[in-house]
Amino acid sequence: MSGRAWGVLLVLCGAIFLEGIDIAMLNVALPSIRAELGLSTATLSGVVSAYVLGYGGFMLLGGRAADLYGRRRMFLTWLVVFLVFSGLGGFATEGWMLLLARFVTGVAAAFMTPAGLSIITTSFEEGPKRTKALLFYAGTAAGGFALGLVIGGLLTGIDWRWVFFTPVILAAVILAAALWLIKEPVKQARAARGLDFGGAVTVTAAMLLLAYGVIRLEHPGQGWGWTVASFAGGAAALVVFVAIERRSPAPLVRLGILRSGPLLRANISTLLYAGSFFGFQFLVTLYLQELRGWSTLETSLALLATGIDAILAPTLTPRLVAKFGNTRVIFGGIVLAVVAYALFLPLGMDWTYAAMFPSMILLGLGFALAYGPLTIVATDGVAEDEQGLAGGLLYTSFQFGAALGLSAVTAVSTAALGDGSPQAALGGFRAALVVPLVMAVLAAIVIAPRRQRASAKEARLAKEEAIPAS
């Protein structure tokens, strides 16, 4: 690749690293934020949920906007919004300020992230160059989350507000480099086409309602009325959206893209795999801090082993993909995750880190093998003017999967908590650990390599060749 191509890739990797580190650092800082601002448990949970709502609710619209209005324009505009509202979060003195800042930051990420991914998929031609770029990109994303846990622990020890100010500094550097390096293509397909307003409103309403429903699963004690209403409203909005898209001469989402078997399987596997990974990480964090009394920094360092994917994704994974293909490598990575979760099931009250380490390292290796190739499969063969949409679908699956995994393990562990004693809490964690295991097994089943069926024409020709001439 040329020097400029490397520069563009590094800028976009910096942006996905920024998104990963932002989420991870905030998760580590939540207890300190609650202590200083006096936030209730519901408000503290809302700080995380607000980001999920903004991200999941606007991701499809964000991905399509990149295709229609220019990938560079969307990337730069929403990077600025991300920068501003991340900084405003650091000045918050009330809970509602944090909620607003995190919601808008999530919306900014929903527009910025698929735009960045589509710049890569349209800047690097399909084949070895794109594969190398996407695997490098995936490794950086994973590295951002892994390093964010440690950096967040260090910054929180100084002042939790630096968890919000640090992304501002990083975003400013990325913005300056992007203005210089990233160029808008001379010809932006369908850029002059008007936005399908009805489709945009209904799909965003559907995603917001479904995301809210998933978030409410974490709090079964609050009743099921609003949860059921959210899912029902989201499903109804999706039905209306599909009806609009079928009749629209210029649909926001071409429904035919969902007929692609590889794309559909990649997105379903991504949803399940993300749910298993983030659900497991959340449980381990609670186990180490609340049951074992480990500090924030000790917990972050314990989870750091999973960050090995940042090294392996751009180095080992391309070689394996070249030899075995994307699907087999993804399947192998998810199987490693299944083994990692299974090894953690006999969780004990006095487990040493040596007992946990095999699961951590297998998870890191599995993520290195699965995440990047899933990105490749989800965008391979998609027309250039729909790359933003493909990225939006992928990240929507990832975000909804993460939210679903977190909600499911929270609900199961809470239901199994019993009398609240340490032994009962341990039983709750063990019960909840089954959730990531089941989700990973389902992801492996969905993405398992399939024997290609011959087309009807090929089958007919083979049959004719088998009949001896008279």
How far, in Å, CA of 43 to CA of 439, rounded?
A: 29
Categorise residue 325: left if φ over 0, alpha if ψ from -120 to 50, beta otherwise.
left
Tokens of 398: 């990832």
How far, in Å, CA of 275 to CA of 450, rounded?
A: 24
Give the torsion through C-alpha atoms of 126, 130, 135, 137, to 10 deg: -130
How far, in Å, CA of 230 to CA of 39, rounded?
A: 25
Mapped onto helix, strand or coil, the DSSP state of residue 346 is: coil
Q: Which pLDDT value is given to residue 135?
A: 85
pTM: predicted TM-score of the whole model, two decimal places: 0.83
Cβ neighbors of 318 (< 8 A, separation 6 or more) are: 131, 132, 135
Q: Which pLDDT value is given to residue 218?
A: 67
Per DSSP, the residues of 28-61 read HHHHHHHHHHT--HHHHHHHHHHHHHHHHHHHHH
Give backbone dihedrals phi and psi of 130, rounded to 5 degrees, phi first.
-65, -40
Angle, helices 261-286 vs 434-447, to 10°: value is 160
How far, in Å, CA of 84 to CA of 378, rounded?
A: 31
Which among 346, 342, 309, 361 has a CA at the least distance from the CA of 440? 342
Mapped onto helix, strand or coil, the DSSP state of residue 325 is: coil
Instruction: Tokens 């004690």: give the residue.
Output: 221
How far, in Å, CA of 252 to CA of 389, rounded?
A: 9
How far, in Å, CA of 78 to CA of 62, rounded?
A: 10
Which among 330, 331, 355 has a CA at the least distance from the CA of 343? 355
Contact 87, 169 (CB under 8 A): no
How far, in Å, CA of 21 to CA of 291, rounded?
A: 26
SS3 per-residue string spanning 376-434: HHHHCCCCHHHHHHHHHHHHHHHHHHHHHHHHHHHHHHHHCCCCCCHHHHHHHHHHHCH
Mapped onto helix, strand or coil, the DSSP state of residue 187 is: coil
Contact 294, 411 (CB under 8 A): no
Tokens of 176: 């300056």
Contact 81, 110 (CB under 8 A): no
Q: Which pLDDT value is given to residue 189?
A: 45
- DSSP-derived letter for residue 448 is S
How far, in Å, CA of 50 to CA of 44, rounded?
A: 10
Cβ neighbors of 220 (< 8 A, separation 6 or more) are: 411, 414, 415
Instruction: Tokens 């505009």: give the residue.
Output: 77
Contact 330, 370 (CB under 8 A): yes
Contact 355, 226 (CB under 8 A): no
How far, in Å, CA of 326 to CA of 375, rounded?
A: 10
Contact 397, 139 (CB under 8 A): no
- DSSP-derived letter for residue 186 is S
Over residues 171-228, the pLDDT tens digits come to: 999 999 999 998 876 445 444 455 677 888 888 888 888 878 877 776 666 667 888 8
Per DSSP, the residues of 112-174 read HHHHHHHHHHHHS-TTHHHHHHHHHHHHHHHHHHHHHHHHHHHHHHH-TTHHHHHHHHHHHHH
Q: Which pLDDT value is given to residue 219?
A: 66
Residues comprising the chain, all counted: 470
Q: Which pLDDT value is given to residue 458?
A: 43
* Residue-level pLDDT, tens digit, the chain, 470 residues: 677 888 999 999 999 999 888 888 887 787 788 888 888 766 776 787 788 788 878 888 888 888 888 889 999 999 999 999 999 999 999 889 999 999 999 999 999 999 999 999 888 887 788 888 888 888 888 778 778 878 888 888 888 899 999 999 999 999 999 999 988 764 454 444 556 778 888 888 888 888 788 777 766 666 678 888 988 998 999 999 899 988 888 787 788 888 888 999 999 999 999 999 988 988 888 888 878 888 877 888 888 888 888 888 888 888 999 899 999 999 999 999 999 999 999 998 889 999 999 999 999 999 989 988 999 999 888 888 888 888 888 988 888 888 888 888 888 887 766 556 788 888 888 999 999 999 999 999 999 987 655 444 444 544 444 444 43
Over residues 376-423, the pLDDT tens digits come to: 999 888 888 888 888 888 988 888 888 888 888 888 887 766 556 788
